[in-house]
Amino acid sequence: MSHKRPERIADTIQRVLADLVRDQVRDPSVGFVTITEVRVSRDLKYARVYVSAIQDREPCVRGLNRAAGFLRRGLASRAGLRFAPELRFVIDDSAIDGFRIERILDDVAPSAAVAEGTAETGKAANDGDGDDDGGDHDPGETGAEAGSR
């Protein structure tokens, strides 16, 4: 059961820090940030806080790390923790990686759709009854007999 405690603490830290950064941090270099994930060490002494920012990310993370002591005190009081972990803010590159992967998939998807469409066209032209007309009737049937099935 103790392995779930760091996860619960990390979720609490993420919620409380998001509120603190939004409401209390006045550093203009921080700007608009999103706390994407918090990872807490097993002994709960250290927390790595992953952030994503719209503006320039390096100054934003430096500003958050400068405010880490202030945020740690606010975290201890708002989250009701006897001991607040040492906070270290780092850039979360997963969003950028996701955009890069999405772009690659978008480039691959049109060529895959063209290849798939070609395969389907070939399949529809030959339905396996030997007449290459795409229909399902026997070659000896007339139109009325084929439609009555």
Burial of 115 (0-12, 13-18, 19+ CB in 10 A): exposed
Residue 36 — pLDDT band, cuts 50, 70, 90?
A: very high
Q: CATH number for the domain including 55? A: 3.30.300.20
Query: pLDDT by residue (tens digit) across 41-97?
Result: 999 999 999 999 888 889 999 999 999 999 999 999 999 888 999 999 999 988 777
Task: Judge if 103 and 40 occupy the same domain.
Answer: no
**Containing domain of residue 52, as a range?**
2-92
Task: Judge if 88 and 101 occupy the same domain.
Answer: no
- Is residue 136 classed as helix, strand or coil in its secondary structure? coil
Report the mean per-residue pLDDT for the chain.
81
Domains identified in the chain, total number: 2
Share of the chain above pLDDT 90, in %: 52
pLDDT at 115: 63
Task: Judge if 40 and 81 occupy the same domain.
Answer: yes
